[in-house]
Structure 1
Amino acid sequence: MNQTPHSEARERFDYAVIADWIPPGERVLDLGCGDGTLLAYLRETKNVTGYGVEIDADRVLGCIRNGVDVIQIDIERGLSGFEDASFDHVIISQALQAMHATEHVLEEMLRVGREAVISFPNFAFRANREAIRAGHMPVSANLPYDWFQTPNVRFFTLIDFEGLCERLGIEVRERLAFDDQGNAVTDDPNLNGSLVFYRLGRAR
């Protein structure tokens, strides 16, 4: 039986994790939104309003099919079309590792949004270290591409990311880590966390 985008989104635990940080009725910007399923999920479960941002034409069409308002721009060039503090939350879900202009993207997220929510695969995860020890680049559910076809251009760890946030004056307000089975981990998340989530703001 074919699934609707909404039913597929309900099965993704990462959407639920993000939704827990988004109060009802907020204004949300989703960067690198793909076909818009996350924003559609937030609209359905949290009654949010807002936009998706996507550069790929096929994915933009997917957003339109899913009834998601989408703007086709390259987020690496900045978000100049949006005024300061236009949104309550700006999200980038499992796409930061595909960005070249990492610092600029983070700065822009916290210019146009009150808070940023970010998720990314932790390259220091235990299974990734084991793959490298065996002489291979890791391939997993959260890093699903072979080295010769991956869209990822940054391979970084939880510790790396927090170091960058500190250098940019970005406050880590909350962090969650999960293993490759979707179980929450608290013991040494840089080793045991496969996918990590951050709620960020400007340092007070």
Structure 2
Amino acid sequence: MTKLRPDLQIIADNITPGSRVLDIGCGDGALMAALRDEKGCDARGLEIDPVNVASAVGKGLSVVQGDADTDLATYPDGSFDYAVLSQTLQTTHRPDVMLDQLLRIGQQAFVSFPNFAHWRVRSSLMFGGRMPVTRLIPQSWYDTPNIHHVTIDDFRALVQDGKYAQEGQWFLSGDKQTGRGMANLLAEHAVFLLRG
């Protein structure tokens, strides 16, 4: 069994075998390879970084180079069972439009992101007066690809405003799942499964 990043493992565990999956911002294709090899999924990927595209293609994966902010419009409606956006929402220009695209292309969408309201982030701002650098937010403010600092409560409000249904939600503290109680304060990372 492939060792995946914890949020990707949650996603892999909850995808139905044999599904058609589009992994947007797929990185080196680790999730796609696991879905193909362990669940018999037809996994496709879209990735902006040419080095990651080459790595994924080298693994025999179907990945194209492209920008999620502009290139998702070319995918037909309902062409996948699942659209996956992991660790990418906070880097998109319009997260609300991105959710619309995910749920236009896929019947369901997995979205994972770092929680910028985690207590360590708050503590860094409150006591250090500086933007945090953490394991999940490893870049300094001036070189980060993160242009939207989303929190779990912000995402829940966006989902509610967009009239999407939450099919599932998981929260991580470190590499372990944590409860939903006070997730906005205690979870470092969130994974949501949505349906349009």
TM-score range, shorter chain: over 0.9
The TM-score with structure 2 as length reference comes to: 0.94
1:21 aligns with 2:6: no
Q: Give the deviation of 1:177 after TM superposition.
A: 0.7
Could you report, residue by residue, the CA deviation over 1:14-64 in whole angstroms, capped at 9, with x for unpaired residues? Answer: 221111210101000000111111111111221111310012212211111
Match of 2:53 among 53, 60, 70: 60
Q: Distance in 2 between matches of 1:83 and 1:92?
A: 17
The code of the aligned residue for 2:195 comes to: G
Contact 1:92/1:119 (<8 A) preserved: yes
Gaps of 5+ in 2: none
Q: Distance in 1 between matches of 2:38 and 2:130?
A: 40
Partner residue in 2 for 1:45:
38
Q: Give the deviation of 1:159 after TM superposition.
A: 0.6
The TM-score with structure 1 as length reference comes to: 0.90
Q: Distance in 2 between matches of 1:37 and 1:16?
A: 10
Q: Give the deviation of 1:13 after TM superposition.
A: 2.2
Match of 1:180 among 174, 179, 190: 174
The code of the aligned residue for 1:44 comes to: D
The code of the aligned residue for 1:173 comes to: E
Gaps of 5+ in 1: 1-5
Cα distance 1:180–1:167, how it changes in 2: closer, same or farther (>3 A)?
Answer: same
Deviating runs (4+, > 6 A) in structure 1? none
1:153 aligns with 2:147: yes
Please give the secondary structure, in 1, of the residue aligned with 2:142. coil
The code of the aligned residue for 1:133 comes to: M
Q: Aligned pair count? A: 195
Question: Which is worse superposed, 132-141 or 11-20?
Answer: 11-20
How much is the aligned-residue C-alpha RMSD, in angstroms? 1.4
Q: Give the deviation of 1:91 after TM superposition.
A: 0.1
